Structure 1
């Protein structure tokens, strides 16, 4: 109509605020709305942090405590061990190979080296004392390579190794501790030569290189064969023979008999005639048997008629390493019982694989970092999207 007044209807408003129309400018959040959004984001981050910490605590609890006790349930002691624990006629033994506590020259320096040494020491101590409490042995035998850098260490470093060794492998006063020297302790492998000074330093801080140790009805004969790569100092057979008195004889050496010089091995077997022998060095568990007469014949050595008639056989057991730092997956100790008649029972106690636990830590950290990155990216994207409306 001409001259008529036309009233335009205003757009309806939404009950809770303005209704966005096409062409309107993006809506900016009010201070109260921004605070609410930030609060929700903080809650999500806080929930993520709490979850990450909780999972981290569980991972540490499993790796540092539970894995050892779970592993302990798989340990099998020699038959009849529990019944023979209080029998004075039975010798109970823990035999360890190559603990090689880590040093300072070959290990990574600084904080990383301190952490790796601490972790290795703790693993050795934890596993050893769990087994020690279970077995309650008459003697504990270490078959050499007590230190990783003992042969090349300075006197100050060597003193620290000695302190750490006795701290890690502390045994009760009533338990005999039998210690042998290995090539990492006194030299003998490659260009690392055996010297009189190294041997004297070991004997001063640990034990004689060659001796007879009596435990109940068993004579343990320590011989310093050390290594197949260099000529070892002569074994004082006459002096050791004069100390033998027990009905059962066990030969202890760092290296295996078949790794030693044939004539040396044959002479030792023919002189001592041990029923059993234990060695280490190669970080793995194996068994072998040696006919003493046959070995002496191969070596071109004379032997008495009674030895030929008896056809004595020495059973040798190669003990695995007890340290996870030796680069082998099979880590463990040997548990042995020897009765009054010389019958031996043995089992290998396998230990948890520490590198698996360390890998779990690495995987956990990677997952946490990736999850944190994704969480922050999602929150940032959501905040940017919300501010457009």
Structure 2
């Protein structure tokens, strides 16, 4: 009986050890060899400054209170968090861009649900002060053009400190950030404001004075923009 109990005990310990090992491998370790396959391209520069390291992510679609099951959210967000945190540790980007559709239900979430979604986002995508996180607006965050409202737009802009059109300059590199949902072209108040801001930015970049040569015999160069 003692011998049988001892064998059963060793078997139980072995199974527990195997389970814990597999869990650690699949939920922690596996992200490192996968992301280590990625690397920054080697770029020759004329001066001593290193190239800007920018990481681009898109469509995180954090599930909301309406369509998101708690177990599905737990699993997805854990994987997303581990992948992001491992990427920060291994790749050490200077700036991370998330190109819209941060949330899956931002277009119809209540104020309480919105606050919960934002809290989870900040936990998943936490980062040090050495890394800048830039979040852009997507249609799932504020709704498609016909669903977009000033209230939805402003709550997103306030949380993520963004505007619908601006230029972000990091170490001499210009990034033009635009709310594409507001480019419908129907002169709605939000769209009109974004279009006006883009015209100002084009002048700031001196784009509005660029010219192109017309075909031979058709006169002097003409403006590309009005």
Q: Same fold (TM over 0.5)?
A: yes
Task: Choose 213-222 or 123-132, whichever is displaced more.
Answer: 123-132
What is the RMSD computed on CA atoms of the aligned residues?
3.3
After superposition, residues 333-348 of structure 1 pair within 5 angstroms as none
- What's the counterpart of residue 169 of structure 1? 125
Q: Which of the two has higher C-alpha Rg?
A: 1
1:240 to 201, 205, 214: 201
Provide Cα deviations, 1:112-162, integer angstroms capped at 9, x if missing partner: x1x432332222222212222333333211100111211111111111222
Provide Cα deviations, 1:184-209, integer angstroms capped at 9, x if missing partner: 101118xx722222111111211212
Identify if the C-alpha distance between structure 1 residues 239 and 168 changes in structure 2 by more than 3 Å, giving closer, same or farther: same
- What's the counterpart of residue 51 of structure 1? 14
Identify if the C-alpha distance between structure 1 residues 183 and 75 changes in structure 2 by more than 3 Å, giving closer, same or farther: same
Rounded to whole Å, the distance in 2 between the matches of 1:306 and 1:89 is 36
After superposition, residues 135-284 of structure 1 pair within 5 angstroms as 135-188=91-144, 193-206=147-160, 207-226=162-181, 233-234=191-192, 235-236=194-195, 237-244=198-205
The 3-state SS of whatever aligns with 1:140 is: strand
Per chain length, whose mean CA-contact separation is higher, i.e. which structure has more relative contact order (CA < 8 Å, sep 6+)?
1
Count of residue pairs brought into register by the alignment? 207
Report which of the two has the higher share of helix: 2
Identify if the C-alpha distance between structure 1 residues 65 and 119 changes in structure 2 by more than 3 Å, giving closer, same or farther: same
Rounded to whole Å, the distance in 2 between the matches of 1:220 and 1:197 is 26
Identify if the C-alpha distance between structure 1 residues 239 and 76 changes in structure 2 by more than 3 Å, giving closer, same or farther: same
Contact residue 144 and residue 182 of structure 1 kept, 8 A: yes
Which structure 2 residue ranges, 5 or more long, are not aligned?
A: 213-220
- Give the superposition deviation at 1:174: 4.1
1:121 aligns with 2:82: no
- Give the superposition deviation at 1:230: 10
Provide Cα deviations, 1:188-245, integer angstroms capped at 9, x if missing partner: 18xx722222111111211212211111222211122239999783432223224437
Rounded to whole Å, the distance in 1 between the matches of 2:209 and 2:101 is 24
Which structure 1 residue ranges, 5 or more long, are not aligned?
A: 1-35, 246-269, 274-292, 294-303, 308-389
TM-score, reference length from structure 1: 0.46
- What's the counterpart of residue 64 of structure 1? 27
